[in-house]
Structure 1
Amino acid sequence: MSDESRDSGARAVLVAAMASGQGKTSVTAALARKLVRRGQRVRVFKCGPDFIDPMLLERASGAPVHTLDLWMVGVDECRRRLHDAAREADAILVEGVMGLYDGSPSAADLSREFGIPVLAVIDASAMAQTAGAVARGLRDYGPVDMAGVLANRIASEGHAKMVASSLRDIPLLGWLARQDTPLPERHLGLVLPGEVDGLEALLDKLADGLHFDEDAWQALPLLSQSAPAWEDVPPLLAGRTIAIARDAAFCFLYPANLDLLQKMGAHLAYFSPLKDEAVPPDADAVFLPGGYPELHCATLAGAAHWQDGIRAAHAKGLPIVAECGGMMAVADAITDKEGQRWPMAGLLPGEVKMQARLAGLGAQAMQTPQGPLRGHTFHYSRLETGATPLSHTVKTSTGGEGEAVFRIGSLSASYFHAYFPSNPLAVAALFGASAA
């Protein structure tokens, strides 16, 4: 780790590709682990809304992975996070989303906004010299500043040399061989890190298999961001304990959301419905985040202490915020993909049914008395209910009607995932802060 890296900023790349499925997460994880093992301080970010990839990348880098999104997070907060990372780290890796130019805002927009060059991941398993055309197209279409290419699923050193020769004026920063044991996936993306046997060994194997041009990496410019100061957050939740469900069924938690609750003075108390733990008795509010309850229906259906506890919290009038998977777990029942029905906590009338087809995707905003709260949705189930929604979120892509937002007593429930820092006052009100 050089003094120059410490004092002047960090080398940074945005790891992007022509499409999903090219291996961005594997490459980012391999590069992060390799740099960490060389004594580098690495900070990884994820472009766009995502919960699962950041969990894996946190394991690879050893540090929390925050989201960068020009709309949901906002330009100023993104700049502040990059500024802080550039001051404390030697390397910054930003994993892109979908294809480089997909979406609005896209990963390319993020690259240009903050001057982060693109490291293009190209799946070269079924090509050789055409990799050059892909790389030049990715660079010139926008255009974007291209740091280089990292070729994935390379068959041999000879194959890597053919790819390198095709790139012309674009450097090949490295290549990764075809993996016998790729990272496993399911309907919402990768499986959770805790479900992968031998994950640390797998990450080390990825790093070992990464052929990396150290000189080309060192030639990259240092990123140094000038950013506005962090704004003070009013302590609207001071003295309040927020109970948060956290386990394999309820794990979709943005680190920034938890940070904000604590900055507002809340004490966070975690509990596990999968371990049949009830809501902590000193809780003033409850947060049920998203996750994979549909994979744990039998356990949740049989968790009497959990179900009795959340019903008691609701009966006492404790504010309960249930997002996506959290909402599913407090409906009357979940019907899994095999068609079996499992009774849930029953705070929200209706049945959740899993389906093979994507049911909701995209950036949305929830209107509140304190202004819009930004976030997104992504789910493969539908809620069949006779309950009348309090409101609907707004799709940012079209301005049309988005997810239903339900209010049943003290329960606020929706498929909508909120990014809390986009509106701290609205979040404080959701969790019962009267002054908000």
Structure 2
Amino acid sequence: MVKQIRLNMIFHTSGRHDAGWKSFDDPTTLVDDIDHQVMLAQIAEEAKFDAIFLPDTYAVLGSSFLRKPRRGLEPAVLLAAIARETKHLGLIATASSLTGHPYNVARMIATLQQVSKGRAGWNIVTSQENEALQALGVPLAEKLDRATRYERAAEFVEIVVAYWNSLPKEAIVADKENDVYIDQSLAHHVDFDGKHFSSSGIMQLQGRYNGELPVRFQAGVSAQSCEFGARYADVMFTSQPTVDHDRTFYKKAKGFAAGFGRNPDHLVVLPGLYAVVGDSEADALARKAQFDEQMSLDFLVSNLSKQLGLPVEELHPDKPLPFDLFEKIPTDDDVINYRRGDIGGVAKENGFTVKQLVHHNLTRGQRSVFGTAEQIADRIIEWVDTDVADGFNINVDVQPDGVARFKDVIAELRNRGRFRTDYEYDSFRQNYGLPPG
């Protein structure tokens, strides 16, 4: 039996391209227009995507909000509204594992699981953005190191899952004669006392719907992220610039899962993929270039200098990246070192000028594919069949037009027997081929 391909749609406000919003007649309502968001979700469901994934940060008005619309609506509340207007689409909310208390996240995602009738997902975030920390009143000097972040996140996830399991269906006895609604002896009291969190109690609603837990997601590229996701997540998001990097990550993730006693087939690995569909490859590239040229080149080069830890005056748009400065200007920042290898490798491999690199890097490390529906379907099938991925998180340049174009790719995959003709189950987990959790 051929492997079925999994596809999520990354649910951006206007699209993945930072200039996509400029194609709207009136872009001023994109941040908070619920009808626009529902419409996009319904298009995704019509295409039979597995799920929509809402990337999110705490919506303080950070610098990234000033040049493009970023969603301001709280993810779980927005997805609860979308749940009432869809029937099968998985709904993935982002919630941090570093701020707040696990009980609140447990209850929030469990509520979405009940409202959506078994279609909730939780994207477990371990990142720390300065603007979010400042909004929460956390001094930047108290930012956690990488090891502590994952240690804290592990406790957070364990508490959330414990609360999801704390009130099983059989404990709700509704015994009218003996005046007992919940039999506490049949519940599973949470009693957690860890290094970072403590919690005790029973959640007041079921975490499972028809016996199934919400689907857990985790995104990252580092070795620690890979190991953490293989232990705690059902689905892993990753962002790799080359096929070889994706294949290596895929093998590591599956190996970690097996090492934790899990069935590797029950860990779904989905890299990000930026796809632009055209009548030809040249047409798709021309469409991308049309949006690229609407971006401020000075702004993009300034961002690149921050990503690479290089002076902006050393980055000349029409010249190659100054690789010699990587050694002359060393850094002990793990993220910058990773990006130097990642972004720098792409620049060297393709012979990009700085201008070409920043336009390529608009997807922030996610692989890009441009061409006809047939060409893109060919690449997706090739990558899935050679253990690069189990599917992809699809980014389109502009929503909804880019999604409508990508539906042609889905039709091509469907014609080849690699993607569903319809949803087989009401359950998100079952549609993903996952056990109850």
Q: TM-score range by the shorter chain?
A: under 0.3
Which one has a larger percent helix, Structure 1 or Structure 2? 2
Please give the TM-score of this superposition, normalised by the length of structure 1: 0.26
Higher-RCO chain (CA-CA 8 Å, sequence separation at least 6): 2
Which one has a larger percent strand, Structure 1 or Structure 2? 1
Please give the TM-score of this superposition, normalised by the length of structure 2: 0.26
